[in-house]
Structure 1
Amino acid sequence: MDRARPMRADAVRNRARILSAAREQITLLGPDAPMDAIAEAAGVAVGTLYRHFPTKTDLVGAVIAEHTARMAADVEAAADRVDGGAGALAEITALVHRVVESAAADRTVKAAARELGATGGARPYEERGGTAMGRLIAAARAEGDLHPDVTVEDFLLLLATAPTDQGPEVRRRWLELFLPGLTTRGRPTA
């Protein structure tokens, strides 16, 4: 049985710095951000970057997988809070706000991923997030706050159509208008 050796502590740190620098550089320069600029921003040699990520597609895919893992953990934490007694609709609303803001911040990286065809193994994290979102939806339905026909796919559609290229006020207003369409409470007047 061939087992992969765990990475050394310095390799783990280098990988984390490379991923952070890649996210920053791609956000600043777009998908054409040079690998040497990413290595310089990370404070590592170009060879170190290429040892971790042989191609830019591998690097961008890893950034996307890291982002997706954070989002899955956020959804799971929200579902766990609901299991502990928190209100499901309040958790869903806060979660959708966080996801939209995060998507707005990572918009350029996602565009680079599409351009490069990078997926980076995000699928398992998407499945984890979907399972946890299903738990949140079931809890909100049980509390009578969510329409009975709302699905995980409905939330994915909601998030896919978010105006992440607009400013925070537009995103906030968009959520105020569209999120209540999934609830039994309707849109508040203010």
Structure 2
Amino acid sequence: MTTRRPLRADAVRNRARILGAAHEQITARGPEVSMEQIAAASGVAVGTLYKHFPNKTDLVAAVVAASFETVADDAEECLRRSDAGSPAMTEFVAFLTRLMDTTASNHAVKAAAHELNADHSAHPAMRSVETRVTAALSRLIATAQTQGELRGDFGIDDLYLMLSTLPADQPPAARTRWLALLLTGLTAR
């Protein structure tokens, strides 16, 4: 079994800059943005970019996986606030609102991933991220149900089904209305 050495500090910084620039460039220009443009935007040499990401498919998959990490962090923070006394339904709705906005802004990245067949679900970080999100949101849902705010028959699979229909390509007002209509059907009252 081989063990991987941890990345040096400059390599960690370069990787973070590449991921940030890739997200920005793909969002602005779509999947046709070149690796050279991403390298220039990140301030690294093209060789450095290719050392971290051998091809654009790997880079786009890593960008999508990084976005999911942020979602997992947010879900866990909502759960922590709920455990500390914040109403679970308030945290759940705030999470959904932020997720809608994030999904809308990441729409171009997801389109690029789809076009490039970048299987972000196979990215090594994705399995643990999905587990983290599911665990945090399942507990948040259960707490909101215990507090009498969320209907008792709503589960994590229902949430994922709901999110699969999120109108990410619609303007903010339409997304807000979509969530308001869904919440009307989800609340226990």
TM-score higher than 0.5: yes
- Corresponding residue of 2:99: 99
- Corresponding residue of 2:142: 138
Counterpart mapping for 1:139-154 below 5 A: 139-154=143-158
- Corresponding residue of 1:7: 7
d(CA) in 2 for partners of 1:143 and 1:180?
17
- Corresponding residue of 1:83: 83
CA contact (8 A) 2:138 2:155 kept: yes
Equivalent of 2:167, from 163, 169, 183?
163
Number of residue pairs the alignment of both structures matches:
185
What secondary structure, in the 3-state scheme, does the structure 1 residue paired with 2:79 have? helix
What secondary structure, in the 3-state scheme, does the structure 2 residue paired with 1:32 have? coil
Runs of 4+ in 1 over 6 A off after TM superposition: none
Give the drift of 1:178.
1.2
- Corresponding residue of 1:59: 59
Please list the CA deviations of residues 116-164 of structure 1 after superposition, one character each: whole Å capped at 9, or x if unmatched: 2221332220111011100001101100111111011211122221111
d(CA) in 1 for partners of 2:149 and 2:114?
36
Give TM-score, length-normalised by structure 1: 0.94
1:40 partner amino acid: A
Give the drift of 1:3.
2.0
Gapped regions of structure 1 (runs ≥ 5): 186-190
Give TM-score, length-normalised by structure 2: 0.94
CA contact (8 A) 2:71 2:99 kept: yes
Gapped regions of structure 2 (runs ≥ 5): none
What secondary structure, in the 3-state scheme, does the structure 2 residue paired with 1:82 have? helix
What secondary structure, in the 3-state scheme, does the structure 2 residue paired with 1:61 have? helix
d(CA) in 2 for partners of 1:108 and 1:101?
13
d(CA) in 1 for partners of 2:127 and 2:172?
29
Cα-Cα RMSD: 1.1
1:26 partner amino acid: I
